[in-house]
């Protein structure tokens, strides 16, 4: 495997971790809310994150690498902190949405950085790896915007 391929595989494996983190975070958020529409939204987003991870894993295999299969340690620690904080302060809708938005901020930043790194490694528009990351970046941006709108609506109601 070439060094360039290894670098691209490392970039994709980082995104797999973020996708797995998102899947787990959305599932836990669905468990934390009572609002059935919000719960359904979180479950749907968890499924989309799982699909994103599967697409990235397939791309890593196509490039000759071993795909990541787990979440990141940082996200696991963050979820532990959120769960502890929630036990102390309660899990109101706005608080859950604030934490989900924070996670989406991190994912958005990771995807933008990954896109920049791919370009540096010669994977630009027209390249299948770049196209996959760009498509998923647009999905992360849409998630972020939806979560922010839901959080703003919850804030207005309280």
- The Cα-based distances of 31 to 38, 102, 131, 152 in angstroms read 10, 18, 33, 21
Q: Which of the pair, 100 or 40, is modelled with greater confidence?
A: 40
Q: What is the tens place of the pLDDT at every residue in 115-142?
A: 999 999 888 878 999 999 999 999 999 9
CB-based burial label for 34 (10 Å; 0-12, 13-18, 19+): exposed
pLDDT number for residue 71:
60
SS3 65: coil
Q: Closest Cα partner for 57 from 21, 28, 104, 20? A: 20
Q: What is the tens place of the pLDDT at every residue in 52-108?
A: 999 999 999 999 999 988 765 555 544 454 554 454 445 688 888 888 888 899 899
Q: Where are the domains of the chain?
A: 3-157
- The Cα-based distances of 81 to 11, 69, 73, 109, 141 in angstroms read 27, 23, 12, 21, 25
pLDDT number for residue 32:
85
Interatomic CA distance for residues 117 and 111, integer angstroms: 10
Identify the band that residue 44 occupies on the pLDDT scale cut at 50, 70 and 90.
very high
CA 78: distance to chain centroid?
Answer: 14
pLDDT number for residue 130:
96
CATH number of 3-157: 1.20.1260.10
- DSSP summary character for residue 70: S
pLDDT number for residue 129:
95
pTM of the model: 0.86
pLDDT number for residue 1:
53
């Amino acid at each position: 495997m070439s060094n360039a391929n290894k670098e691209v595989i490392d970039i994709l494996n980082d995104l797999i971790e973020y996708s797995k983190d998102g899947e787990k975070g959305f599932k836990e958020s669905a468990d934390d809310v009572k609002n059935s529409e919000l719960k359904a939204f979180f479950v749907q987003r968890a499924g989309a994150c799982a699909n994103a991870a599967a697409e990235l894993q397939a791309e890593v295999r196509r490039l000759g690498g071993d795909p990541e299969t787990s979440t990141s340690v940082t996200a696991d620690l963050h979820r532990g902190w959120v769960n502890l904080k929630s036990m102390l302060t309660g899990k109101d809708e706005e608080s859950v949405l604030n934490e989900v938005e924070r996670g989406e901020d991190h994912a958005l930043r990771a995807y933008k950085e990954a896109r920049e790194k791919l370009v540096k490694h010669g994977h630009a528009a027209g390249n299948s790896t770049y196209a996959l990351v760009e498509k998923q970046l647009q999905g992360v941006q849409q998630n972020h915007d939806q979560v922010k709108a839901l959080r703003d609506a919850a804030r207005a109601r309280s």
